[in-house]
Amino acid sequence: MRSTRAPRTARTGLWASALLSILAAVNPGGASAASAEPRYTPPLALNGTASLMWRAGDDERVIRLTDGGYKQTGSAWSTLRVGLYDDFESTFTAHIRNGKSGADGIAFLIQGAGPRALGGWGGGLGYRGIRRSVAIEFDTYQNSPDPNNNHLAVVLGGNPDKHASVANSPIPLHGKPFRARVRYDAERERLTVHVRSTAEGAAEKLVLNQKVDLADATGVDTAWVGFTGATGELSARQDVYQWSVGEPED
Ligand SMILES: [Ca+2]
């Protein structure tokens, strides 16, 4: 019995209403391009090799989780937390590249360990060992438990050796940017993940559909959300941008 659990109707979320653009564009329209001040910058906690930079030729912030070195791990968390008894949706664009092939990929996490959380390198994808977490892998390197070098998976308890569910990606995760949408239906305790190419008119495809109680899996009512990434003997530059979190739009 979890008698201390908040009622289902409680609005525990700190992001109760509006869609929050975490990597907000600066000066949209370029009216005052000389200004480097973002209109609004929710705080981010960066760990390991993660750094924040500006997208080339654009007024947009980018989280670079790994920069192409070997055996790197990085994590980036929004320090504004997400209520797990409300529906929420997070969308982002990721770009993983390093010439012909690269490793190891990134993960989107919902976690209860805190803003300093950072896990193991290589196949650990930067989240191995973050036990109070639910990870969604975008995995570009085949380790022994992996079906191939281009798959998505839901992983509980920070253990990438065991997939709660796994599926081939319908698009290449390495090389070109892709767009992902993670959605949680709190009432049904259902997590879904869609991906699509960033090419104009590209169709979005449902890849993962996992029943999971996020509050139970993370041990918290309001969780940190963000990204981890890692490299190993192979490396890659792994960026995330155009990231937002909020209530589902439909
Ligand atoms: Ca892997």
**Would 19 be classed as within a structural domain?**
no
**Would 175 be classed as within a structural domain?**
yes
What CATH number is associated with residue 181?
2.60.120.200
**Would 5 be classed as within a structural domain?**
no
Which pLDDT score, from 0 to 100, does residue 125 have? 98
**Would 9 be classed as within a structural domain?**
no
**Residue 215 φ/ψ, nearest 5 degrees:** -65, -40
As for how many domains the chain has, the answer is 1
pTM above 0.95, yes or no: no
Q: For residue range 228-239, what is the model confidence (pLDDT) as tens digits?
A: 999 999 999 999
What is the whole-number distance in angstroms between the Cα of residue 164 and the centre of ligand 1? Answer: 15
Rounded Cα distance, 167 and 187, in Å? 24
**Residue 241 φ/ψ, nearest 5 degrees:** -150, 175
**Would 20 be classed as within a structural domain?**
no
Find the domain containing 149 and state its range: 40-55+62-246
What is the whole-number distance in angstroms between the Cα of residue 107 and the centre of ligand 1? Answer: 11
What is the whole-number distance in angstroms between the Cα of residue 121 and the centre of ligand 1? Answer: 11
What is the whole-number distance in angstroms between the Cα of residue 250 and the centre of ligand 1? Answer: 33
- DSSP one-letter code for 216: H
**Would 33 be classed as within a structural domain?**
no
Name which of 88, 94, 89 is nearest 107 in CA terms. Answer: 94
Which pLDDT score, from 0 to 100, does residue 43 have? 79
What is the whole-number distance in angstroms between the Cα of residue 116 and the centre of ligand 1? Answer: 23
**Would 13 be classed as within a structural domain?**
no
What is the whole-number distance in angstroms between the Cα of residue 32 and the centre of ligand 1? Answer: 43
**Would 83 be classed as within a structural domain?**
yes
Q: Mean pLDDT throughout 61-87?
A: 94
What is the whole-number distance in angstroms between the Cα of residue 15 and the centre of ligand 1? Answer: 32
Rounded Cα distance, 198 and 141, in Å? 22
What is the whole-number distance in angstroms between the Cα of residue 138 and the centre of ligand 1? Answer: 9
